[in-house]
Structure 1
Amino acid sequence: MENQTDLVAAEDLLLFVNAAITSTGQREFRSGEWQQRMSLDFLHAYVLGNYRELYAATLALDINHHNAALIVRRLLETAAEASPEQRRTEGRLIAGRLALLPPQRVYRLFRELRRAGVNNRRTRAIMRDWLAARPDPALDAVKYRAGVKAVARHAHLPLDTEMGLFLFAPHTRKAGFATPLFESWRRAHYTQSALYELPYTVAEGFAVKHGIARGAFLERIAPRLTRLERLRLQGSAREHRADAVVGDLATMPLTRLASYVLSLPLDDRVRRREELTAALRAAARRTAGPRAGSWGRVAAVLDDSFSAFGSAQKRRRPLAVALGCHFLLEALASELIPLWLSGRTDALLMYPLGPTPLGARVLDALEHRPDRLVIVSDGWDNAPPGLAGEVLRIWRTRLDPQGRTSVVHLNPVYDAEDFDVRRLAREVPTVGVRDAEDLPALVELAQFAEGRTRAAELWTHVDARVRRFLEVEG
């Protein structure tokens, strides 16, 4: 028999994980940025103060980059409150998570630690070790120069003469640098050809300085573009007829690709239907991996109501998650029954519009008696309000108490007022989702949110995830 303390701790952990997956502290459709930030800050302070080991362990889970950076910062700021054993485990978790974060976010985190005066020995060691593991220090020095300078000052890094000179007094070097990238940066100030040897984000500023036409610049810088830079520049490249930039969309991450597709005008989507559909399906198959076709008959209720627009900061993000889940479920299922709230059937042409009739769509889905029902929605059931919750309650308690149909609700939007993602029914598990790629892992996590699984099994699951994370990152 589990005690009340264990059950409360399990509920608190699931609450925090949902927030750490979905919230980025930015404006959402129904809450402002300040509400999101205040709500999220409270949760971080509460879980760190009451469950420090669990707080650190969430670094091994599928949380978003924003919350991972917040956790690292708070752990380092409160290092004096941890035991020696806790500090050792935290150090390994922090190192593993920093290796997964985008470098620009890590440099931003390090600058925040410097401004906050967090200067303990462990923090400096983590900075030194992370920087020493970077694959190309010269590239970092050019691309993230301000960040590298801040880390060098804060962690008292020993720098070779050329690196130190480039970071702190680059214009005093008249004879040129021996490091090719440093020399290209120096020459790019007065020679146009040199800027094409630099990373795109650095070269772009030089191109503006030299007055180079956008189309010509994109054509020549194309070989230096990263995969995600190519995706972000698709529209600009087509506008300026820079064909060299347009890469293979099928190699892009699923949710980013879905966001790109939704950013296109409907006419463009129709014209490029074959290309875009093939790319989305290829990304979904790659994500599904060996699980492809193993989920049986799946009914998916997908939210394309007006609130799926998101906000100016997270434009069409909820709809992009739903679109990505559509194609991923198509790959995972032996048969997919997709039911969009609007009643439209062409997934490629979806756009946010209308109310949220979740109850009616859930009824339609359950009539098919699927093996699984997956609902992807912000949970604001309003046509009529509360119908979806009643349908799911009656289905689970009276019509299918044995659980022959597995039901899970994935919610891409954090509800700042309730410190959680909005739920449809107590009888059905709801978990937060940030990227469609995380869907299989989140369905596994949902069993703990359903309340049928004991807290001890949740701790076992978390411990196993931490062990796997440390083994992979170690």
Structure 2
Amino acid sequence: MDTYADLIECEDVLLFANAAITSTGQREFHGSAHEQRLSLDFLHRYIQGNYPDLYAATLALDINDHNAALIIRNLLREPGAGDGRLIAWRLARMSPPRVYRLFRELRREGINNRRTRAIVRGWLAARPDLAFDAVKYRSAVKGAVRHAHLRLPGELGDFLFAPRSRTRFATPILEAWRRAHYERAALYELPYTVAEGFAARHGIDREVFMARIAPRLTSLERLRLTRSARKDGVDTEADLAAMPLVRLASYALSRPSSERRDEFAAALRAAAARVAGARAGTWGKVTAVLDDSFSSYGSPAKRRRPLAVALACHYLLEALAGSYQGLWLSRRADPVPARPLGPTPLGQRIIDALEQRPDRLVIVSDGWDNAPPGLAAEVLRVWRRRLDPAGEVGIVHLNPVYDAERFDVRRVSPMVPTVGIRDAEDLPALVELAAFAQGRTGLDELRAYLEDRAARR
């Protein structure tokens, strides 16, 4: 049986998990960037100081890269803290720019113990094409190599530290970089971000450059450059259905409401079906309450992010459910042209959802219930205590916004579990994590869950 201290520990760790999933230290609709960073820094210090083993184990959860990097940096400061294999696994999941940024921070702070050097060396050794990294992230690779006390044999070491010592390179991308200094055609063999600098140096017309570099663009570069490239008469758009769900939803929401509505809806459904996989159609009758109120705009730093998460969850829940209905606060029927507008009448839409007696009710909202304030909490209290005390309808609240003042995501009601969400792909795992937030399981079960997640890595 869990003691009171165990329950506090379980609650603290879940609170930290919510923060690590949702917060990136950037400005939110109801909080400044400074407040976000200050609150997040306190949580990291508090959890690491009080529960160091569980702090390290949260790397196995679906936390965002910003917090994963903070955890890894804090663990490497402490000799023997954390599992080196779990740290290496988490680094392998992070984007290369994020990892190189972490390595720069480790070097700047003088964190250079033997374990840190081994982890940096292991990550560099596992890169599929370190020569490509050396060209695209040259200064970052140089810094990491120096920090780890590595000696790169052959031409890769020469390229980083003495590029003029060789008149030719045997590695094609290194040779293309050398030739691009004086040969225009060679720059089109380089990554876009590197080729762009050479194109400016050679004075190449933007339209000509975009037309020729288009085949080398990554999917994210294609998406980011779509609008500007079309002005130059070049189509760079990527395969929409292959994109991450929230990124695709963000892109759809950034376009004019009347533009390609059916195409975006089809792409979102295809992406959701890919994510659902074998779980498609297994969740029974599902109803979702989805927040498209004005606060779902987010902030200039995270524009329309909460709304994009709601839109992505809408399509994923549709794929997971046997039968599904999504209820938007604005009462719109077509979700793709959704726009952040109006108050947050969560209570009324929760009533509408519960009237359908679904097997599962999922609420995706920042939790600022204000039309009228507190109605959602009262509806859920009455439902749980009077109308459905056995919990036949599973209810979970997914919140994409960290509340710096509360050190947690804002809850709609203490009667239902609330967990943070950043990427829709994590939704099934987060619904599983909600069982711990509901208090039906204790510290031993939470520890076992984290250990199991870590063991599966």
Distance in 2, Cα, partners of 1:306 & 1:247: 30
The answer for the alignment partner of 1:472 in structure 2 is none
**What percentage of aligned pairs have identical amino acids?**
68
Could you tell me how far apart the structure 2 residues matched to 1:211 and 1:264 are? Answer: 32
In the other structure, the counterpart of 1:142 is 135
The answer (yes or no) to whether the contact 2:396–2:417 under 8 Å persists in 1 is yes
Alpha-carbon separation, structure 2, partners of 1:309 and 1:216: 37
C-alpha contact (below 8 Å) 1:216/1:242 kept by paired residues: no
1:118 is matched by which residue type in structure 2?
I
1:171-200 Cα shifts (integer Å, max 9, x gaps): x24623222211211221222211110011
Q: Distance in 1 between matches of 2:397 and 2:438?
A: 10
1:238-268 CA-to-partner distances (Å, cap 9, x unmatched) read 332213x223211111111001101111132
Equivalences for 1:245-264 in 2 at 5 Å? Answer: 245-264=236-255
Q: What is the letter of the counterpart of residue 158 of structure 1?
A: R
Structure 1, 182-191 or 125-134: larger mean CA deviation: 182-191
Residues in 2 aligned to 1:455 and 1:127: alpha-carbon distance in whole angstroms: 34
Q: Which residue of 1 aligns with 2:117?
A: 124
Residue 161 of structure 1 and its aligned partner are, at CA, apart by: 3.9
Quick one: which of 192, 196, 199 aligns to 2:184?
A: 192
Which of 348, 364, 384 is the equivalent residue of 1:376?
364
Aligned counterparts, 1:171-210, within 5 A: 172-173=164-165, 175-210=167-202
Deviation at 1:231, TM superposition (A): 2.1
Q: CA deviation at 1:355?
A: 0.7
Equivalent positions of 1:149-160 (< 5 A) are 149-160=142-153
Whether the 8 Å contact between 1:374 and 1:407 is mirrored in structure 2 is yes
| CA distance in structure 1 between the partners assigned to 2:147 and 2:447 by the alignment | 37
Q: Which runs of 5+ in 1 are unaligned?
A: 470-474
In structure 2, the residue corresponding to 1:349 is in which secondary structure?
coil
Q: Offset at 1:156?
A: 1.0
Mean CA deviation greater in 122-131 or 174-183:
174-183
SS for the counterpart of 1:193 is helix
- Contact 1:358-1:387 at 8 Å conserved across structures: yes
SS at match of 1:431: strand
- Please give the alpha-carbon distance, in whole angstroms, between the structure 2 residues aligned to 1:280 and 1:150: 40
2:293 to 292, 301, 305: 305
SS at match of 1:298: strand
Counterpart Cα distance in 1 of 2:173 and 2:89? 29
Are 2:409 and 1:417 equivalent residues in the alignment?
no
Higher mean alpha-carbon deviation, 161-170 vs 372-381, is at 161-170
Looking at structure 2, the residues matched to 2 and 290 of structure 1 have their Cα atoms a distance apart, in angstroms, of: 36
Give the length in aligned residue pairs. 457
- Out of 309, 314, 318, the residue aligned to residue 330 of structure 1 is 318
1:129 counterpart letter in structure 2: G
Do structure 1's residue 315 and structure 2's residue 306 form an aligned pair?
no
Structure 2 runs not aligned, ≥5 long: none
How far did 1:158 drift?
A: 0.8
Q: 2:126 aligns with which of 133, 136, 161?
A: 133
The code of the aligned residue for 2:449 comes to H
Question: 2:288–2:327: 8 Å Cα contact kept in structure 1?
Answer: yes
Instruction: State the 1:217 CA deviation.
Output: 2.0
Whole-Å separation in 1 of the counterparts to 2:220 and 2:21: 21
**1:402 alignment partner in structure 2:** 390
C-alpha displacement of 1:40: 0.3
- Tell me, in whole angstroms, the C-alpha distance in 1 between the residues paired with 2:429 and 2:211: 40
Question: Alpha-carbon deviation of 1:70?
Answer: 0.4
Which residue, 338, 354, 372 being the options, matches 1:350? 338
Q: Is the 8 A contact 2:261 2:337 kept in 1?
A: no
Out of 92, 103, 108, the residue aligned to residue 99 of structure 1 is 92
Which of residues 213, 228, 231 in structure 2 aligns to 1:236?
228
Alpha-carbon distance in 1 for matches of 2:400, 2:207 = 37
Paired residue for 1:214?
A: 206
Q: Deviations over 1:33-80 (max 9, x none)?
A: 11000100000001111111111101111000000000000000122x
Contact kept, 8 Å, 1:237 with 1:246, in 2: the verdict is no
8 A contact 2:6–2:442 mirrored in 1: no
Matches of 2:284 and 2:207, distance apart in 1? 48
| Counterpart in the other structure of 1:292 | 280
Give SS of 1:448's match: helix
Match in the other structure for 2:447: 459
| Aligned 8 A contact 2:24 2:66 in 1 | yes
Q: Which residue of 98, 107, 112 maps to 2:105?
A: 112
In 2, are the aligned partners of 1:295 and 1:334 still within 8 Å (CA)?
A: yes
Q: What CA deviation, in whole Å up to 9, does each residue of 1:323-354 have, x standing for no partner? A: 00010011111221111111111101101111
Matching of residue 24 in structure 1 with residue 24 in structure 2:
yes
Residue deviations 1:257-311, cap 9 Å, x none? 001101111132xxx1222111100000001111111111111110111110111
Question: C-alpha separation between the residues in 2 aligned to 1:22 and 1:242?
Answer: 36
1:459 shift after superposition: 1.7
Alpha-carbon shift at residue 228 of structure 1 (Å): 1.9
Query: Which residue identity lines up with residue 175 of structure 1 in the other structure?
Result: T
SS at match of 2:429: helix
1:267 to 255, 258, 276: 258
Establish whether residue 52 from structure 1 lines up as the match of residue 52 from structure 2: yes
Q: Residue type of the partner of 1:279? A: A
> Is it true that 1:283 corresponds to 2:271 in the alignment?
yes
What TM-score comes out, normalization by structure 2 length? 0.98
